[in-house]
Structure 1
Amino acid sequence: MSEAAARSPRRAPVERQRDPERTKAQLLEAAKTEFGAKGYAAARVSEIAAKAGVNKQLISYYFGGKEGLYNALTATMADDYVAASDHDQPFADVVRFFAQSAVRDRDLAKLFLWENLTDGAPDAIGVEGQREFLQQQVEYIRARQTAGDLPPDLDPGFLLVTFMAAASAALALPRVVRLVTGQDPNSAEFAEAYGEQLARLVDHLATGRDQEA
């Protein structure tokens, strides 16, 4: 008997039981990193699949391709933000949450910046869904004006833009943050302190309205 024949036959690798929800979660997490680092146009599905440790065909299978994966990712982001800005939630708490989330989840925050820095095709993907989300945020601010958190003479749309820009400072202006505050814009300490300062600013707006009345 030859040496080759004497060897035990190599067993075929056992296929791991597929867990669709776990696989989708891995792909979304990997996509967040890839899209956050490169933006939609430059991101590669092969890189996303490699980071997730799965076959790239599963991106098409579960999400219908790159665009579907991106839309699913941004939908989860919108869901989290909508939940944070319930109409009964004080505006100061929401501003604090947004400011701290920019440091807590940098990949998602960078994705948001990419969308705005590369405004237009092919990075204008998902605009319709975002329009609905942003309009919900405008209505939230209008509700907080009615509740007395904010002066009624401020336009809620402009106010939303102002505070979204402020919440993005750690990523958009890291050098300015370091030079002005002496703190690391990526640190939890900065996120805590900055979120608190923005919340106090909102409180002052409400206090100023009371004093005028």
Structure 2
Amino acid sequence: MDLVEIERKREIGTAEESVRRHLSEAGWHASGPVVETDDYYSRPDVDFMETVECLRIRRNGASAEVTYEPPTTAVTHSAGDVIAKRETNVALGDGQADAAGRLLAALGMVHLVTVAKRRTLYRHPHTPGLTVAIDVVDNVGIFAEVEVLRSEAADGRELLEEIERGLGLTGFPAVDLPYRDLAMARSVRAWPAGLHLLSTGRPSQPSVDLGEVHRMIADIRCTSPRSTEEPLASPPQEA
């Protein structure tokens, strides 16, 4: 059975240690942290930042996978910034991540940005199909993301909100943009990079101004990269 991934992330900033402590006290078990590096792509004829589709290659230690998420619509994205989508994931073997990147390039896909983060996953023994991730995203910020896997999106939303309330996360601002878009905004506008998070574990810049990021993303969508390759000539048609 295909499951729906229901998720919402919130920016927790300097409250990271408090959130981690609350998770531990509530019986959540941590695994990690692990460093994940995501390379995001778009089609040359469709702006995935505008449609809010996702095509990425994720490297996680010795493992890697290709993921596609369909466009964001009013059905998949609720007013409360809860996102519910069915992902398509393809696991890659050892050394195949680079080959996958070459394949996407050969198909004309446009590389958008590379996002690196240090992720710690928390799971509770009594709630299968539910994870809380603490993400320290390089040059972007620190976030808590609750993710629920369920057959029906409505059931997952109710559980997600219950977990957020129980963990005291509802007071933190919800973030409706993907890490890709936040990183693109910083890269294109040359926001101060500061210290490298994967070395220090802490961001050096203030919290993300989501209103400003939305304005930047609108500008980026008008100037997003397109393939500069000449289109392949059509094969001759038989008479």
- TM-score, normalising length: structure 1: 0.31
More strand by share: 2
Query: Which of 1 and 2 has greater Rg?
Result: 1
- TM-score, normalising length: structure 2: 0.29
More helix by share: 1
